[in-house]
């Protein structure tokens, strides 16, 4: 059993072409949804809006997000750790660039092949939810 659990909030940010924005943190190989760890006393949406501002210089109001659910999975980049994740969806209608600890952005289209560099939470829970009719 994992020795620790991280409480995170993350966003499915979709562009006009239906592509999903993925991020990769510096020094890691797995792509995941933008977002991050909740700080003490923060709601999931407060954490998410703070993290998106830090990681992408993106300011979206809380009303822009639609909740998709709460998920539990092994962490992608931290050994012996699970994530408890509140996932939201929002439209992204303008370009963004990586900031803070982010090294790379990638857009994933529903028809794109899914590589082995996708975080377990994304691959096992989020993609089947948002693209239910698409094969993995």
pTM for the model = 0.92
Going from the C-alpha of 58 to that of each of 49, 61, 115, 123, the distances in angstroms are: 8, 10, 27, 24
Fold of 4-130: Nucleoside Triphosphate Pyrophosphohydrolase (3.90.79)
pLDDT tens, residue by residue, 28-78? 999 999 999 999 999 999 999 999 999 999 999 889 999 999 999 998 888
Burial (Cβ within 10 Å: 0-12, 13-18, ≥19) of residue 107: middle
Domain extent listing, the chain: 4-130
pLDDT tens, residue by residue, 77-109? 888 889 999 999 999 988 899 888 899 999 999
Neighbouring CB atoms inside 10 A of 36's CB total: 22
pLDDT tens, residue by residue, 9-32? 999 999 999 999 999 999 999 999
């Amino acid at each position: 059993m994992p020795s620790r659990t991280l409480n995170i909030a993350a966003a499915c940010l979709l562009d006009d072409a239906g592509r999903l924005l993925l991020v990769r943190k510096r020094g890691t190989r797995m792509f995941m949804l933008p977002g991050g760890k909740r700080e003490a006393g923060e709601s999931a949406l407060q954490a998410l809006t703070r993290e998106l501002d830090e990681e992408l210089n993106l300011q979206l109001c809380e009303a822009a997000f639609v909740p998709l659910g709460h998920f539990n999975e092994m962490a992608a980049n931290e050994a012996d750790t699970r994530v408890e994740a509140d996932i939201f969806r929002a439209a992204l209608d303008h370009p963004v660039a990586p900031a803070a600890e982010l090294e790379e952005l990638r857009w994933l289209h529903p028809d794109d092949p899914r590589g082995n560099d996708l975080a377990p939470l994304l691959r096992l829970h989020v993609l089947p939810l948002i693209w239910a009719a698409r094969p993995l």
